[in-house]
Amino acid sequence: TYPYVTSSNCSIGGACTGLGLPPKYIGDIYGVVKAYTTRVGDGVFPTELKNEIGEHLQTRG
């Protein structure tokens, strides 16, 4: 949620820019997603469990 969003390009174009490769060198493209939310820096974490279940997940994984 704004303002806690990325300004990076999260597409194949962003990968080409970050790697310094032109798109003609890209063959197969695979999509990758995360099944959980992560946060870098400060900000709210609306799904954080601050109870016994959250403590269990932190210690046991």
pLDDT score for 1: 62
Rg (CA), the chain: 17
pLDDT tens for each residue of the chain, 61 residues long = 667 677 888 888 888 999 999 989 988 988 888 777 777 777 777 778 889 998 998 898 7
pLDDT score for 49: 85
Q: What residues have CB less than 8 Å from 47, skipping those under 6 apart?
A: 37
pLDDT score for 52: 93
pLDDT score for 21: 92
**Is the four-CA dihedral 2, 4, 10, 16 of positive or negative sign?**
positive
